Amino acid sequence: MVMAEGTAVLRRNRPGTKSQDFCNWPDEPFDDMDSTLAVQQYIQQSIRTDCTDIDKILASPEGQDEGVWKYEHLRQFCLELNGLAAKLQVECHQDTCTQMTATGQWMFLCSAHKIPKECPAIDYTRHILDGAAYLLNSNKYFPSRVSIKESSVAKLASVCRRVYRIFSHAYFHHRQIFDMYENETFLCHRFTRFVIKYNLIAKDNLIVPIMVDETEADTEVEGEA
């Protein structure tokens, strides 16, 4: 929403705003974002501008703390994965997807229980996202949005490994839903590039054949330059 000249831009979706008009205000330079939520706002702004421009979305502003940057991206991934989880409920049922699997070689136990055990895929998905939300909003590990202890940053890799299983199950067992959501958001593309960039998941464990080959090619070109 653009206000009259000389007045501030109100970055807020008013009650009754239509979905196609959400966040319809000018982009704001990162340096002008005077808020403890500036990193989150900047990431979301970059995604809204062009969700396919992954390089720009993952490019950290100069001087930005890397731990906070990784943390805020992971929060954003989990927010958007809730959208995929909601769509999966259409066909991912407890009686059809009785286990959290990806291809015939990968089956995951759910750690949300006192003793990890098999869990229907849709329940596993909910448990993963609930657990990620609990950790990422923990005042014990992440009391600040502007500075994060290295010991807390180290926990992000474990969250990445778990939430990636949602992508892998969707890709191998609900491909149409996966493709539709991916075409809208480029979420798995972005997540794959993110975890490779920061070495959060071993490449051998990135079983969804999306972006991995392209990322490796980009790495080879950069190495030759």
pLDDT digits (tens, 9 = 90+) for 55-64: 999 999 998 9
Amino acid at 52: T
Mind spelling out the 3-state secondary structure of the chain? CCCCCCCCCCCCCCCCCCHHHCCCCCCCCHHHCCCCCHHHHHHHHHHHHCCCCHHHHHCCCCCCCHHHHHHHHHHHHHHHHHHHHHHHCCCCCCCCCCCEEECCCEEECECCCCCCECCCHHHHHHHHHHHHHHHHCCCCCCCCCCCCCHHHHCCHHHHHHHHHHHHHHHHHHCHHHHHHHHHHHCHHHHHHHHHHHCCCCCHHHCCCCCCHHHHHHHHHHHHHC
Which of 3-7, 8-12, 17-21, 145-149 reaches the highest mean pLDDT? Answer: 145-149
pLDDT digits (tens, 9 = 90+) for 144-180: 988 999 999 999 999 999 999 999 999 999 999 999 9
Mean pLDDT of 187-195: 97
pLDDT at 221: 35
Q: Compute and round to an integer the Cα radius of gyration of the chain.
A: 19
Question: Phi, psi (5° rounding) for residue 206?
Answer: -90, 85
Domains along the chain with CATH numbers: 24-224 (1.20.140.30)
pLDDT at 139 over 80: yes
Average pLDDT over every residue of 13-17: 68
Residues 1, 81: Cα–Cα separation, whole Å: 28
In whole angstroms, what is the distance from residue 1 CA to residue 31 CA?
A: 20
Predicted pLDDT at 117: 87
Torsion of CA 57, 53, 169, 202, to 10 degrees: -60
At 15 the pLDDT is: 76
pTM score = 0.84
Cα–Cα dist 195/200, whole Å: 5
pLDDT at 4: 42
Percentage of the chain with pLDDT > 70?
82
Q: What is the pLDDT of residues 65-93, one digit of tens each?
A: 999 999 999 999 999 999 999 999 999 99
